[in-house]
Every structure is written in structure tokens, then in C-alpha cells.
């Protein structure tokens, strides 16, 4: 039987998982056609208002007519116009002009397509950063609480993914946390650095506006006026037809860097879940595997890693696009920007939401952590044992050799026979160590092996983290709680 396909069904067409499964409604709207094209209309209105202020013959009635139709967009008419004109901006100019017959003669007056295209992109980038930065602040707050709660809980440290000296659960969390402090700083800096393209004309010389106003100071004032009406204090001082695509590159680089922080933390969580020391939240009805009912797969962390990897890879797109913008501009940026910028923000938004959910409910298993410490601590105690024996009058070199032999014997039991580490039993059975047997339990107290870890956490939270959280105290009052639907 041949398949009959209903292409009109939304389920018969490709839909990005970023919009159907992952990203928030707010970020989806930020990159929607409704936001984009209503912003175009707002920019045409701002241009008209500024041109009126500079003395051009534009009436309040014309401006009011445009304002009455900002959101009244006929997308079908615009699509039909674009099929005829092969020009998206002119298609929307024509549709808007039909809705605003009084204003039709002055819509897009003196402007090039990049007036609406580029300026809208900058508004969307700004608004996107305004959505992401509070999410990062929420993750910082969640991790700060977690680090403080577990700042004194000893845990086995790992270098090269091999057991190393002890740390604490909270101290390890500060390593993740510091990365996110760097991301907050970078995102904030990117937000503060954003300017407006403003009114620059076809090659950035503002020639068309000089023709309209015949006054250099008025053209400069027009540029600033449109920027301020659009919510920006500054415009880029020089542009070609477009603002430099280095702006896009810097922002995508910042988002990609955020993706690397998230990937790093969630990779660590996946390793710790395998060790059964820590894990992400796991719902009572959640299924880890269709074939293995006992499994508790770290699916949230895996999702973060998957999407973050895509986010990291988008950096090369932005870098390559900037590098090939010949002279005043080429159009091979346009289609790539539509994909890269939207997916970078939607991806960052998606992983931050998942990470917020993870950091709200991290689970720690102290008994497992203690067991893993006890398996390795006997070997790590060698230096303490040597120092204790020397204090009792022993010879450091003889003691070192005794411990070397006993530790290798114990290691063979663990690796070759799968037995528990019996190093301490061997120490207790050797008459040589009789002078320190009474001190042995104290010498093996894990809390004596963590150095200043606890104090480091306290100092770090007070000196570095709290000032950041204070900056976002109003946002964090209504704590963002995320429940994942899928």
C-alpha cells in the first residue's frame, strides 16, 4: 500500500527540537517571526519620529497610523510579496504600506534593508542576553548553596581520573561555580558592549540621510535619536552596510564558552554518578532504560552535554562568517546568521534550564563517598605514618621502605584477587609500627587530609560569589524553579 502523506500537517514537516522539546517559550518568542517583523515596524516608526524631529515633513497622523498596525502583520501577504520581489524587507514594506496608506510615502525613508535587519538582530541579541544572564545567576545561587552545605564533607579527589589527595564535595562544586562566575562576567560584558547600528545607509556613509537633511550635525543627531528610541545609548561609530559580524562572533564565543562550562560540570556529574557518589535528580516514576529497569541514567546531564556540544561547535560558524565579509558586506552571512544566532541562544537557554533543574536537586551519597575514601586512604596515609614514626624516634628511610613493601602487598590483593585494601591490617600486624598503633585512627581521619578546602569554600563564597548574587538579588527573589516536561 502506498503511503499517503498530508504535507499540510505540522507533524509532516521538520521542526527543530530546540523549539519542540528544549528551549523556553520566552526564548522561542525572541527569535520568532512575530518578534522580528513587529520590531521592523517599530524601527520604521522610530525612524519616522526621528526624521520628523530633524525637520522632515512627517505628520503625527502618519506615525499614529503605523503605531496602530505594529502587531497587525499579515504573514501570508508578506510571503506572497516576497515570492514576487525576492526581497524580504521590501515585501514587508509593501504590506505595511497597504495597511498604512497615509504613512506609505515615508515608510523606510532613506534606509537600507540593514536598517531593519541589523538593528532588529541587535535588539534580539540584547533581549536574548537579558533572558540568559538571570538563568546563569540562578545556577550560581544553586551551586553556592550546595557548595556551602557540603564544604566540609571529605571526598576522594581525582587527577587523571585516578584517585588523588582528598578534597571536599563542596570544594569540587566551587570549581564548577568559578567557571560560571566567568561566564556571568563574559555575558554581562557582551551585553554592555552591545551598540546599535542606527542609520548608516547602504555602505555606512549615511549619504542618503545627508541628501534628506543636508546637514551633517542633523544626520548625526538622527542616528543617536533612533538609537535612543530603540533602547540603546550608543551606536557603532563606523559600519559598512552592516555592523561588524565580529559582534556576532563575540557573542557566540561567549555562549560557546558557557557551553563548555556546562559540558565540563555535567561530564563530572556523569562520572560521579557512575561512582555512585553523586547524581542528578531522579523522579519516582522515571525510567532509566527500556531493557534494564534498575538503571538510573544521568539523562539530564547527558542532554546538557549533547546540546552544549552543539553550542560549542557553533563558534566556528560565527568565526567563518565574520572572516569572509568582503569589503562593506556580502550576503553570505544572512542565511548562516539565521541558523547560528538563533540556535546559539536557544541552545544556551535549553541547557541552562536543564542545569537549573539539576542544581536544584543534586543528590549526595556520603556513605559511598566514605567507602571510596577508605579504599584509598590507607595508601595516602603513608606520609602521615612516616611523620608519626619519626616523631617516635624512627628512621624515615626504614619506615618508607616498610610502607612501600606493605602497600605493594596490599595493592596486589586488591588488583589480582579483588579483595579489600588490607594495608592497615598489615601495618597493625607489623611490630615495627607498634609505637604509633594508638594514634592510627587519628592519623586516618579523612578531615585531616582536606587541607583548607572548607575555609576556601567559605572565603570564595563570601568574597567572589556573594557580590554577584547581590547584583541579581531582585531577580533571585522569585527563585526560578524548572520542572522538565521531557
Here the CATH number for the domain that contains residue 77 is 1.10.275.10
Instruction: List the CATH number of the domain containing 408.
Output: 1.10.40
pLDDT in tens, the chain (486 residues): 566 777 777 778 888 888 888 889 999 999 999 999 999 999 999 999 999 999 999 999 999 999 999 999 999 999 998 898 888 899 999 999 999 999 999 999 999 999 999 999 999 999 999 999 999 999 999 999 999 999 999 999 999 998 888 999 999 999 999 999 999 999 999 999 999 999 999 999 999 999 999 999 999 999 999 999 999 999 999 999 999 999 999 999 999 999 999 999 999 999 999 999 999 987 654 545 444 444 578 899 999 999 999 999 999 999 999 999 999 999 888 889 999 999 999 999 999 999 999 999 999 999 999 999 988 887 777 778 888 889 989 899 999 998 889 888 888 888 888 888 888 888 889 999 888 888 888 888 898 889 999 999 999 999 999 999 999 998 888 766 666 655
pLDDT given at position 380: 79
Residues 409 and 434 in one domain: yes
The sign of the dihedral angle between the CA atoms of 108, 113, 115, 121 is positive
Does the residue 22 lie in any domain?
Answer: no
Residues 427 and 291 in one domain: no
Does the residue 449 lie in any domain?
Answer: no
Does the residue 450 lie in any domain?
Answer: no
Tell me how far apart the alpha carbons of residues 242 and 229 are, in angstroms, rounded to a whole number: 20
pLDDT given at position 294: 47
Residues 141 and 274 in one domain: yes
What is the extent of the structural domain holding 429? 382-443
Residues 151 and 261 in one domain: yes
Instruction: List the CATH number of the domain containing 358.
Output: 1.20.200.10
Which of 106, 137, 171 finishes a domain?
A: 106
Does the residue 466 lie in any domain?
Answer: no
Number of structural domains the chain divides into: 3
Residues 175 and 277 in one domain: yes
pLDDT given at position 292: 45
Which of 366, 401, 426 finishes a domain?
A: 366
Does the residue 328 lie in any domain?
Answer: yes
Does the residue 266 lie in any domain?
Answer: yes
Does the residue 256 lie in any domain?
Answer: yes
Residues taking part in catalysis: 160, 289
Tell me the whole-structure pTM to 2 decimals.
0.89
Residues 289 and 362 in one domain: yes
Does the residue 226 lie in any domain?
Answer: no
pLDDT given at position 484: 60
Residues 345 and 290 in one domain: yes
Residues 426 and 323 in one domain: no
Residues 190 and 297 in one domain: yes
Which of 312, 336, 366 finishes a domain?
A: 366
Residues 272 and 354 in one domain: yes
Residues 265 and 316 in one domain: yes
Residues 276 and 400 in one domain: no
Amino acid at each position: 500500500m502506498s503511503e499517503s502523506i498530508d504535507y499540510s500537517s505540522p507533524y509532516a514537516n521538520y521542526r527543530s527540537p530546540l523549539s519542540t522539546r528544549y528551549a523556553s517559550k520566552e526564548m522561542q518568542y525572541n527569535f520568532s517571526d512575530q518578534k522580528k517583523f513587529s520590531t521592523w515596524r517599530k524601527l520604521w516608526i522610530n525612524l519616522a519620529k526621528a526624521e520628523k524631529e530633524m525637520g522632515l515633513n512627517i505628520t503625527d497622523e502618519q506615525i499614529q497610523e503605523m503605531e496602530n498596525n505594529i502587531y497587525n502583520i499579515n504573514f501570508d501577504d508578506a510571503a506572497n510579496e516576497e515570492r514576487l520581489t525576492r526581497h524580504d524587507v521590501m515585501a514587508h514594506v509593501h504590506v505595511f504600506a497597504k495597511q498604512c496608506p497615509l504613512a506609505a510615502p515615508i515608510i523606510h525613508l532613506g534606509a537600507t534593508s540593514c536598517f531593519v535587519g541589523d538593528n532588529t538582530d541587535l535588539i534580539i541579541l540584547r533581549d536574548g542576553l537579558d533572558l540568559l544572564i538571570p538563568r546563569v545567576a540562578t545556577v550560581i545561587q544553586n551551586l553556592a548553596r550546595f557548595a556551602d552545605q557540603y564544604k566540609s564533607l571529605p571526598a576522594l579527589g581525582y587527577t587523571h581520573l585516578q584517585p588523588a589527595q582528598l578534597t571536599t564535595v563542596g570544594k569540587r562544586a566551587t570549581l564548577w561555580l568559578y567557571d560560571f562566575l566567568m561566564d556571568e562576567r563574559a555575558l554581562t560584558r557582551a551585553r554592555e558592549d552591545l551598540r546599535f547600528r542606527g542609520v548608516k545607509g547602504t555602505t555606512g556613509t549615511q549619504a542618503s540621510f545627508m541628501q534628506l537633511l543636508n546637514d551633517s550635525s542633523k544626520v548625526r543627531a538622527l542616528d543617536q535619536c533612533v538609537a535612543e528610541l530603540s533602547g540603546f545609548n550608543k551606536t557603532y561609530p563606523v559600519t559598512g552596510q552592516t555592523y561588524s559580524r565580529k559582534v556576532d562572533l563575540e557573542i557566540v564565543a561567549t555562549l560557546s564558552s558557557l557551553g563548555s562550562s556546562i559540558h565540563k560540570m555535567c561530564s563530572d556529574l556523569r562520572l560521579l554518578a557512575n561512582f555512585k557518589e553523586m547524581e542528578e535528580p531522579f523522579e519516582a516514576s522515571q525510567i532509566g532504560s527500556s531493557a534494564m529497569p534498575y538503571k538510573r541514567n544521568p539523562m539530564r546531564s547527558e542532554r546538557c552535554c549533547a546540546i552544549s556540544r552543539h553550542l560549542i561547535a557553533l563558534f566556528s560558524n560565527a568565526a567563518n562568517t565574520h572572516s569572509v565579509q568582503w569589503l562593506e558586506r556580502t550576503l553570505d552571512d544572512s542565511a548562516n546568521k539565521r541558523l547560528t544566532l538563533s540556535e546559539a541562544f536557544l541552545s544556551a537557554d535549553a541547557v541552562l534550564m536543564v542545569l537549573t533543574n539539576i542544581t536544584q536537586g543534586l543528590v549526595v551519597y556520603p556513605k559511598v563517598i566514605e567507602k571510596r575514601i577508605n579504599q584509598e586512604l590507607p595508601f595516602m596515609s603513608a606520609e602521615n605514618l612516616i611523620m608519626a614514626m619519626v616523631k617516635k624516634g624512627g628512621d624515615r628511610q626504614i619506615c618508607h621502605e616498610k610502607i612501600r613493601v606493605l602497600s605493594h602487598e596490599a595493592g596486589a590483593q586488591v588488583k589480582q584477587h579483588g579483595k579489600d585494601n588490607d594495608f592497615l591490617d598489615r601495618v597493625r600486624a607489623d611490630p615495627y609500627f607498634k609505637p604509633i598503633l594508638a594514634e592510627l585512627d587519628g592519623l586516618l581521619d579523612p578531615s585531616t587530609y582536606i587541607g583548607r578546602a572548607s575555609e576556601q569554600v567559605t572565603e570564595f563564597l563570601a568574597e567572589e560569589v556573594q557580590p554577584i548574587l547581590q547584583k541579581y538579588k531582585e531577580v533571585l527573589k522569585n527563585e526560578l524553579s524548572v520542572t522538565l516536561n521531557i
